[in-house]
Structure 1
Amino acid sequence: MAALLTLSPAEAAQFVPPDGCQLEMTVQNRGCRVSQHYVCAQDNPGDQHVVYFDPEGPVHYSKIDAETRWLESTNLITGLSDYLVPDAQDHASFSTLLATGRDDFDFWTESSTGERLRNVGEDRLTGERVTIDGVELELTEYELRMFSADGQLLIESKGQQFINRDHGRFYGGVEIWSDWTGETREEDDSPASFAFEGEAGFGSTEPLFDCQMQMVRSGEKSLIYPAALR
């Protein structure tokens, strides 16, 4: 990530993955974000990395495994990272979702400051399919509650996302968030276009969709929730 964050202005328009890694696709998302999805030779099979950019640069990094478990999630604005705690009552399972149409989960993450969060929820396939920019996606519904170590409900979220079986991952959708302060907000991080190697837009870090609307809300951009960006 250090190499990514020290690109010159001339280079910043094009994403270059770390050494030993290969960029697989660039996804333009609603909400004025573009995501760079890459894999690395030294990882376990099925591990994936993604970096999200807004108009000012990289804002979020995450790493998932073949079951879409949140191995690492980093807010690149604040520098705060969260890591999956290995032991869990019920880890997230992409294969269970595909096989049964539903996956329940109950796991913990620990931040780089030592804070522990319990993540409880479920993902469900709706049976609906859509095609966006030539990529077939299946719709999901989800519910998520995040608790502090002492059991306080901190964040509650529900909404709709997308999956692609071949890509082995989730994509954001229309989601509603509320937190312990009573603030509620709705986000639309749905994919709007996909670019693969050799296609226009592959590696571009300039977001293209909903950016005029996002400028009005630029003061909120530090509020990045991991479920939408896994």
Structure 2
Amino acid sequence: MTKAIKTVVTALALMIAGGAPVAAQTFEPPRGCTLSLTAQLRQCQVANVYSCTGDAPGDRWITFADGVGIFFTSRIDFETRWIESIDHDSGNIERLLPKAADHASFSTLLATGRDDFDFMTETSDGFVERFVGADTLTGETVMIDGIPLERSTFDLSSYDASGAFLTRRSGSQFISRDLRLFFGDTEVFENAQGDRIETFQPPVTFALPGEDGFGTLEPKFDCNAVLARAPGLTDRLRSFRDDRI
């Protein structure tokens, strides 16, 4: 599953354009941190996964970059809970609140095929959001760039502190048992204002240490496109969930 995610995210359509890609750049993890995986995603995004010696065992950080640069960083724990996320455009930080009716658990998903969750987050500007939903394994396995993945479905709704509906997200994802990570696939996003957006952002290639593309900040796929955006939505395609690559 992924972390707290913005209600104003993503694009309504992709239209062909002639924009040139940015020059190749290399991601440098912070001091005391080690990069472990680079994933190229559809819709012109690349994700880099790293861990840091000062964090709890099993914690990992994921940075997302598009054709402009890094726009989002998230931290997940061993159970893929949404511990912390940073929106680099706004500077806003979102953190998981410690008390929850039912924290997300990757271990439960692997053991039983389903994980229900009900937890809350708070942003640095004081906005509290409740997330309720479930992840379910379908039993389907796929191989993407040499890494075995399993397909899962999810349904996730969010509410404000008063209980008012904010967003609903549903669709399919992939999980890696070995990496203990979620990866995106197809998704439908809906909000209280009546917006409905469909996205397709599965991983295409993976790079491990020593392999071509490891540590790059340059996305490779679907970058010859211009985003046709709805009024009030963010101006670049974003990942919906912090714990989902």
RMSD of Structure 2 on Structure 1 (CA): 1.8
Structure 2 residue corresponding to 1:195, chosen from 207, 210, 216: 207
Instruction: Show the counterpart of 1:225.
Output: 240
1:90-114 CA-to-partner distances (Å, cap 9, x unmatched) read 0000000000000000000000101
Q: Aligned equivalents of 1:98 and 1:223: distance in 2?
A: 27
Q: Aligned equivalents of 1:98 and 1:224: distance in 2?
A: 23
> How far did 1:73 drift?
1.4
Highest relative contact order (Cα 8 Å, sep 6+), 1 or 2?
Answer: 2
- Preserved CA contact (<8 Å) 2:75 2:242: no
> How far did 1:225 drift?
2.7
> How far did 1:31 drift?
1.2
SS at the partner of 1:77?
coil
SS at the partner of 1:150?
coil
**TM-score normalized with structure 2 length:** 0.86
> How far did 1:203 drift?
0.6
Structure 1 residue corresponding to 2:79, chosen from 49, 67, 79: 67
- Preserved CA contact (<8 Å) 1:189 1:228: no
Instruction: Show the counterpart of 2:34.
Output: 22
Q: Aligned equivalents of 1:73 and 1:152: distance in 2?
A: 23
- Residue ranges of structure 2 left out of the alignment (5+ in a row): 1-21
**TM-score normalized with structure 1 length:** 0.91
- Preserved CA contact (<8 Å) 2:80 2:243: no
Q: Aligned equivalents of 1:197 and 1:178: distance in 2?
A: 38
AA paired with 1:119? F
- Preserved CA contact (<8 Å) 2:75 2:243: no
- Preserved CA contact (<8 Å) 2:38 2:48: yes
AA paired with 2:217? T
Q: Aligned equivalents of 1:222 and 1:200: distance in 2?
A: 25
1:205 aligns with 2:217: yes
Structure 1 residue corresponding to 2:68, chosen from 51, 56, 81: 56
1:107 aligns with 2:119: yes
Task: Map residues 163-174 of structure 1 onto 2, 5 A cutoff.
Answer: 163-174=175-186
- Preserved CA contact (<8 Å) 1:172 1:228: no
Structure 1 residues 99-108 or 184-193, which shifts more? 184-193
> How far did 1:226 drift?
2.6
SS at the partner of 2:54?
coil
Structure 1 residue corresponding to 2:107, chosen from 90, 95, 99: 95
1:209 to 1:195, Cα distance in 2 relative to 1, 3 A: same
AA paired with 2:240? Y
1:217 to 1:36, Cα distance in 2 relative to 1, 3 A: farther
- Preserved CA contact (<8 Å) 1:137 1:164: yes
Runs of 4+ in 1 over 6 A off after TM superposition: none
Q: Aligned equivalents of 1:22 and 1:161: distance in 2?
A: 26
SS at the partner of 1:173?
strand
SS at the partner of 1:43?
coil
